[in-house]
Structure 1
Amino acid sequence: MTRHETSLAYAARIERVMGHIADHLDDRLELDDLSEVACFSPYHFHRIFVAVTGETVAEAVRRLRLHRAAVELNRSQLALARIATKAGYGSVAAFSRAFAAAYGTPPAAYRRVGQDLRPVPQQSGSQAMTRASALRTALHYDVTIEDAPTVKLVTLPHRGDYQKIGTCFERLFAWAGGHGLLGPATRMIGIYYDDPDSKPLAELRSEAGLAVPESSPLGPDMAWREVGGGQVARLLCKGPYADLDVAYAYLYHSWLPHSGRQPGDAPCFEEYLNDPRSVPPSEWLTAVNLPLK
């Protein structure tokens, strides 16, 4: 097997492990078991995992569990103790310290602020107007109109909750790493086809994408897609991905009706401007792009 073929094989095995971790966050994720998923010797698995992903298994598990916890804090009424246990912490205090270190605020405060500002579906007309007014006064994002050049992406399809698209990005990064395609200029873009309030979570359609050279050989389930190629309304959001629905609410409820512009016949896409593995969630930068006519 050539060096290139070996690199691809390693990436595919680690991709399989990342998918297994994402699907079994409530289970005990032992290194010996994960090494079996990867078909690597337990003596060497973890070093290979770190070399491919840039983080330890413990860091990957912690990151994915804290992201799920942030989503649950915003979307559910689960008790903090239950969320802490699901995230792998023995006490609310330990969970609160870890969450605050990653997200910049304790989980109770994060839940309070997020649920105060997040739009509530199926409201009456007067309630919806009050909520939209509250969003306009409580939030402000800078929205700019820009010419977005066409970007060609290798994509993987995702079906279901948008907050779980990270598994597809993990697979893409493992594939791209194996092909030697990752670098400082690599662009990470997600395409979102549906309004999350328009249909059941299981039916939502999205794609995870990476901008790589057009000569790149595609892996299983991958396809080429293009985004951009016209004007977009660009909103820059700083903070956890779990908060992005608030940014969309501002974009559609506050900015668009007063902009004098109409949306184009193309889905929204998000560009993730820094590496979520190397900076805390409070520092994550996302550019939300709404194509315009």
Structure 2
Amino acid sequence: MPAPPTLLDYDRRIARAIAWLAANPGQSPSLEVLAAAAAFSPCHFHRIYRAMTGETPAATLARQRLQRAAGELLGTARPMARVARRAGFGSVAAFTRAFRAAHGLPPAAYRRRGGIGRPLQECPMQESTMFDVTIEVMPPLRLAAIRHTGPYADIAPTFDRLASWARARGLLEGPRRVFGLYHDDPDSVPPARLRADACVTIGPDVVVEGEARLLELPAFEAATVVFQGPYAELGKVYDWLYGTWLPGSGREPADQPPMDEALNNPRQHPPSAWLTRVIIPLRPA
């Protein structure tokens, strides 16, 4: 059954508020500003936003800011004060408190350690960390996708818009799989031109419209690794798979983008408990 037109209209309007938060990560918007972006009355906006997204605007903003900050801590040498300022915090002290509460340690220690994530399973009898690679056949996937253009570390708002799109159509009530597809090599393509897709599986009867588009992937064989930790640290899994595992595996990557799958809900768990399956499509052996 198609979603009611009013619900679809609400989704489009809430998506504008999410887009405003993504475009202004350093600002702390007032209720009136966000309500105006979504064309809702301020006295109703918070209730509608929470019903449509599953969290408050403040929670969305905090999660997006800290996820972006974690990526900058690991991927750049920017001074802590600048990372804090770009993440929208008025001081390093405020940034440190928020980061410690979410990640379990202060940002300086997080940067020194190179992150807090770990493979869910490590290969035994190895002196250095190695990831446990599983070769599996991925089933055919019918996906609703929303395109993200820009640094991969900034894709969180696109997944937030996807969740709102899917919730408005009743697609989150049953079991669904959520994927990110990454079309470009971040070491060879300028960050502003990187292309990715935030995707959710859908049934054969779902009509894809609005800002989403339909992607259909046939079954394929893949090398997979399950990683536990912040999404900002997934780059080291991809680097290891492409730089270490693939050259020694006797396998070649297929001509389709790598992807990862969120195995739990980042809104319900701290970053240290986020589970992600990294997926590298392979050519037939």
Spell out, residue by residue over 1:199-238, the C-alpha distance to the aligned partner (whole angstroms, 9 max, x if none).
1112222111111223222233422113361210001111
Q: Does 1:195 align with 2:185?
A: yes
What are the Cα deviations for residues 9-33 of structure 1, in whole angstroms up to 9, with x where unaligned?
1111111110110101112311111
Give deviations 1:113-167, integer Å, cap 9, x for gaps. 228xxxxxxxxxxxxxxxxxxxx95432111101111111011122221112222
Give the whole-Å Cα distance in 2 for the aligned partners of 1:85 and 1:34: 21
Corresponding residue for residue 12 of structure 2? 12
Structure-2 residue corresponding to 1:65: 65
For structure 1, the 5+ residue unaligned runs are: 116-135
Identity fraction in percent: 45
The SS at the match of 1:89 is: coil
- Residues matched between the structures, number: 273
Q: How does 1:22-41 map to 2 (within 5 A)?
A: 22-41=22-41
* Per-residue deviation, 1:3: 7.8
Residue type matched to 1:100 in 2?
A: R
Structure 2: state its 5+ residue gaps. 116-125
Distance 1:110 1:263 in 2: 32
What residue in structure 2 maps to residue 130 of structure 1? Answer: none
What RMSD in Å do the two structures reach over aligned CA positions? 2.0
Counterpart in 2 of 1:263? Answer: 253
- Deviations along 1:82-102, whole A, 9 cap, x unmatched? 322333434433322321221
For 1:166 and 1:200, the matched residues in 2 are separated by: 19
Q: Is the 8 A contact 1:154 1:212 kept in 2?
A: yes
Shift of 1:109: 1.6
Bigger shift: residues 279-288 or 79-88: 79-88
2:200 aligned with 1:215: no
Residue 119 of structure 2 corresponds to which residue in structure 1? none
What are the residue-to-residue correspondences of 1:26-175 with 2, within 5 Å?
Answer: 26-114=26-114, 138-175=128-165
Out of 254, 257, 273, which is 2:244 matched to?
Answer: 254
Could you tell me whether the CA contact under 8 Å between 2:27 and 2:88 is conserved in 1?
Answer: no
Q: Deviations over 1:30-67 (max 9, x none)?
A: 11110011111111100111111111111111111111
Q: Distance in 1 between matches of 2:218 and 2:266?
A: 23
- Aligned equivalent of 2:123: none
Contact 1:154 1:223 in 2 (8 A): yes
d(CA) in 1 for partners of 2:170 and 2:63? 24
Tell me which moved more, 84-93 or 252-261: 84-93
- Residue 120 of structure 1 is matched in structure 2 by none
The yes-or-no answer on 1:285 pairing with 2:275 is yes
Contact 2:28 2:88 in 1 (8 A): no
- For 1:287, the aligned partner's letter is R
Shift of 1:251: 0.8
Quick one: distance in 1 between partners of 2:92 and 2:193? 34
Q: Is the 8 A contact 1:175 1:219 kept in 2?
A: no
Q: Which structure is higher in helix share?
A: 1
Counterpart AA for 1:206? A
- In the superposition, the TM-score normalised over structure 2's length comes to 0.89
Q: Could you say which residue in structure 2 is the equivalent of 1:118?
A: none
TM-score, normalising length: structure 1: 0.87
Aligned in 2, Cα 1:221/1:3: closer, same or farther, shift over 3 Å?
A: closer
User: What secondary structure does 1:146 align onto?
Assistant: strand
Counterpart CA distance in 1 for 2:128 and 2:16 is 43
Kept in 2, the 8 Å contact 1:227–1:269? The answer is: no
Contact 2:3 2:169 in 1 (8 A): no
Is contact 2:143-2:216 (8 Å) kept?
yes
Alpha-carbon separation, structure 2, partners of 1:205 and 1:287 = 20
Judged with a 3 Å threshold, the aligned counterparts in structure 2 of structure 1 residues 186 and 209 are, in CA distance, closer, same or farther, namely same
Q: Could you tell me how far 1:256 is from its partner in structure 2?
A: 1.2
Q: Distance in 2 between matches of 1:221 and 1:13?
A: 12
Separation in 2, partners of 1:88, 1:38: 22
